[in-house]
Amino acid sequence: MTVLNAGPPTPIDGGTGLVTLVEASTFCLSDQLGDIHPGTAHGLFYRDARVLTRWELRLDGQPPEQLSVVLRDPYRARFVARKPPPHGVADATVLVQRRRMIGEGMREAITVHNLGSEDTAMTVTLTADADFADLFAVKEGRGHGHGCEYSVAEGALRLTGRSGSGRELAITADGEPEIQPGSLSWQIVVPARGAWHTVVHCQPIVEHHAAPMKFDATDEDSPAYKIRQWRATTTALTASGSGLNTILQRTETDLGALRLDDPEDGTAYVAAGAPWFMALFGRDSLLTSWMALLLDSALAVGTLRQLAKLQGKEDDPVTEEEPGRIMHERRYGPGSERVLGGSVYYGSVDATPLFVMLLAECLRWGVEPGAIRELLPAADAALTWIDTLGDGDGDGFVEYRRKTDRGLANQGWKDSWDAVGFADGQLAEPPIALCEVQGYTYAARLGRADLAEAFGDHGAAARLRESAQELRERFDEAFWMAGEGCYALALDGRKRQVDAVSSNPGHCLWTGIVPDERAAELVERLGGADLNSGFGLRTLSSTASRFNPMGYHNGSVWPHDTAIAIAGLLRYRHIPGAMQLAERLATGLLEAILEYGARPPELFCGFARTEFRSPVPYPTSCSPQAWASAAPLLLMRSFLGLQPDAPSRTLTIAPRLPERAGTVRLADLRLGSAIITIEATGTSAKVIGLPDDWRLEEQ
């Protein structure tokens, strides 16, 4: 089994500019020419293994000169280059275009244009190699697999992994290339003002199962068809504020590309992000699905179903599986125990309460009650884990301690080895109870109470609400740091407050575990210059000993983290200063996202805006990354004050949109059988198509 090591991945770009393409379980990293270079983290990756480590195009043995890259969708790109002119000649006359599309493998159309007045002859060569390395080996720079063996048969170059990996890649092409071990080449003559064209296919094979190569836009399994269907069935989100509108359109496209399909039942769920996390994750997929309810509730249902299938059933210290526990991640790479079946690791403390939270939220958003009822046993098993194995010392708080030295030392969303420490830099010793996890648990109990109420079990609903209130009171007593006006990051194994000031209490606002009498102080603390970088909340206060604005979890800014804090502030909008801080944080975050071409990265450095006018990139940040991509949806929902309650047929809306957002429009928003349109500007909103049996509450 492969366990994700804590901390950031190794750099993936040697400084030449990186192009990332992603579609479901396939992704490709190349330079801006479209070349994939050995000795780097470049590659074509399929089901958590690298199936190409070299993919280099040469014209007469020389690389072309890069002109531009056109990225229209997350799964395709057009690389435009020229053949360098001969020495002493000013202008080039040969243009080469590579149109690349990935899906279940890769399709690349290569066109050589002769813009000159004479015919031109040349040799076009593609060099290919593979190491079939496990994704984690590439991510962590631990080597480059075992290489491959070449064979040529039936017009195909076949690359086969050594050491019984069960992996192969078949490369075929038009134009009758000369195929040698490791290369395809064409001797061509391109007529004046004419062009030459070939199409190359790279087809992965896993344990003799060839990937279906479906790239025709009319095929239901093609990337283009799937993204078109996704757009047709989701809420259409637009804003007259141009910057916000661009961000929303990119969000929709990226989340569509990060969807994975279950071949057994056809449901879709969401992967965590590219390039390293194109797999089902517990925490990431659940939070992303929550944020994306505004766009598509079916994504949340599919994610819940997948996680319920993999919910823990037995005790296994190696995988950290426990009955009722929701998994952390599933992998399919060569380092996994089973290539086709994948391997599952359960070392997450927060995925289990988040599962229950999301299920309850799905009911509020109108998911069919039968689908909710089907998942109730999984929710109850999750709550049982929370109350027993998740609280190993019986103190009433959910905590974690890894079972072996192979597991993650920290099992919250900040899972770096050094992410949980005191203000003086001392690391917390397990078992560790994180503040936000208690908030998730509080919300999970209230959510399960709502589910019980909806299905007529009023006694269970009352018991769960009482339990939630008891947790709220114990939490406040144990975690509140009066001297800081903030909740402690965690309690350590000796029940001491881990006194570092961090962004984590923002999640506590989001879940509602914070009493009103504490909220005003917490709002003021979150707005301090040590936490608010000007582009979003730092993960750790700049006053802490371990603060590092370039640290993965110790001072950087994560868009999803800031968005959750903003949602929390808007939940407490009645508290003085909460609304104003939410607007400041949102403005800074959206301006940072626009600096990244409207695609929010996984994270960026936490330098103060007064020090750098633009956000400083974090070099190994994933992009697109699911919960970062979904963060603008949570911002929109929160500033709209949008709270549907399908069981009571009530829609609450309380818009507080910033002026720069302009008019925001949500068309074809599905709330169960109701399909409505919302138009909002500033503090006013219009709802179109709300059924007569629904009640609209405006605040």
Q: pLDDT for 287-328, tens place per residue?
A: 999 999 999 999 999 999 999 999 999 999 999 999 999 999
Burial class (CB in 10 A: 0-12, 13-18, 19+), 279: buried
- Residue 645 in tokens: 């309650």
pLDDT in tens, 559-586: 999 999 999 999 999 999 999 999 999 9
- Residue 516 in tokens: 């009103």
Sign of CA dihedral 213, 621, 35, 597: positive
Q: What is the pLDDT of residue 220?
A: 61
Helix axes 578-595, 626-640, angle to 10 degrees: 140
Minimum mean pLDDT among 22-36, 217-231, 531-545: which range?
A: 217-231
For 31, half-sphere exposure in the C-beta direction (CA atoms, 13 angstrom radius) is 20
Q: How far apart are CA 319 and CA 336, in angstroms?
A: 12
- Residue 605 in tokens: 């450095």
What letter would DSSP give residue 131?
A: -
Sign of CA dihedral 445, 448, 450, 453: negative
Distances (CA, A) of 379 to 301, 354, 384, 667: 13, 10, 9, 32
Query: Does residue 26 register a pLDDT over 70?
Result: yes
Distances (CA, A) of 143 to 7, 10, 45, 51, 355: 18, 12, 16, 15, 36
Q: What is the pLDDT of residue 232?
A: 80
Residue 646 confidence class, pLDDT cut points 50, 70, 90: very high
632 upstream amide cis, omega within 30 of 0: no
Query: Does residue 514 register a pLDDT over 80?
Result: yes
The mean pLDDT value for 506-529 works out to 97
3-state SS, residue 194: coil
Q: How far apart are CA 386 and CA 374, in angstroms?
A: 20
Q: Which residues contact 680 (CB under 8 A, 6 or more apart)?
A: 640, 653, 655, 657, 663, 664, 665, 686
Q: Are strands 54-59 and 120-129 parallel, antiparallel or unpaired?
A: antiparallel
- Residue 555 in tokens: 């001072």
User: What percentage of residues in the chain have a pLDDT greater than 70?
Assistant: 93
Q: What is the pLDDT of residue 134?
A: 82
- Residue 275 in tokens: 């390039």
Would residue 613 be called left, alpha or beta, if left means φ above 0 and alpha means ψ between -120 and 50 degrees? Answer: alpha
User: What percentage of residues in the chain have a pLDDT greater than 90?
Assistant: 75
Query: Does residue 25 register a pLDDT over 80?
Result: no
Structural contact between residues 428 and 419, judged by C-beta atoms closer than 8 angstroms: no
Distances (CA, A) of 139 to 56, 98, 620, 689: 21, 27, 10, 49
Sign of CA dihedral 443, 445, 446, 451: positive
Residue 430 confidence class, pLDDT cut points 50, 70, 90: very high
Q: How far apart are CA 212 and CA 105, in angstroms?
A: 8
For 490, half-sphere exposure in the C-beta direction (CA atoms, 13 angstrom radius) is 27
Structural contact between residues 540 and 547, judged by C-beta atoms closer than 8 angstroms: yes
Q: Which residues contact 567 (CB under 8 A, 6 or more apart)?
A: 510, 634, 635, 637, 638
Q: What is the pLDDT of residue 218?
A: 64
Query: Does residue 332 register a pLDDT over 70?
Result: no
The pTM (predicted TM-score) of the whole model is 0.87
3-state SS, residue 617: strand
pLDDT in tens, 199-248: 999 999 988 888 888 777 666 667 777 777 777 889 999 999 889 999 99
Query: Does residue 82 register a pLDDT over 80?
Result: yes
Question: What one-letter code names the amino acid at 652?
Answer: T
- Residue 167 in tokens: 């992996």
Q: What are phi and psi of 291, to 5 degrees?
A: -65, -35
SS (H, E, C) 276-345: CEEEEEHHHHHHHHHHHHHCCHHHHHHHHHHHHHCCCCCCECCCCECCCCCCCEEECCCCCCCCCCCEEE
What letter would DSSP give residue 433?
A: E
Residue 279 confidence class, pLDDT cut points 50, 70, 90: confident
Query: Does residue 448 register a pLDDT over 50?
Result: yes
Query: Does residue 471 register a pLDDT over 90?
Result: yes
Residue 342 confidence class, pLDDT cut points 50, 70, 90: low
Distance of CA 657 to the CA centre of its chain: 26
Residue 657 confidence class, pLDDT cut points 50, 70, 90: very high
Q: Which residues contact 481 (CB under 8 A, 6 or more apart)?
A: 487, 488, 497, 499
Helix (H) / strand (E) element for 475: namely helix 458-479
Residue tagged 């001969």 (tokens): 86
Q: What is the pLDDT of residue 414?
A: 97
Q: How far apart are CA 211 and CA 204, in angstroms?
A: 6
What letter would DSSP give residue 166?
A: -
- Minimal CA–CA distance to 171: which of 135, 136, 129, 203? 203
Question: What one-letter code names the amino acid at 22?
Answer: V
498: which strand partners? 490
Q: Which residues contact 432 (CB under 8 A, 6 or more apart)?
A: 399, 400, 401, 410, 420, 490, 491, 492, 493, 498
Q: What is the pLDDT of residue 385?
A: 98
Question: Strand 259-261's sheet: what is its strand order?
Answer: 259-261, 268-273, 277-280
Q: What is the pLDDT of residue 275?
A: 66
- Minimal CA–CA distance to 148: which of 135, 158, 161, 138? 161
Mean pLDDT of the chain: 91
Q: How far apart are CA 307 and CA 270, in angstroms?
A: 11
Q: Which residues contact 514 (CB under 8 A, 6 or more apart)?
A: 476, 487, 505, 508, 522, 568, 572
- Minimal CA–CA distance to 344: which of 47, 9, 2? 2
Residue 9 confidence class, pLDDT cut points 50, 70, 90: very low
Query: Does residue 489 register a pLDDT over 90?
Result: yes
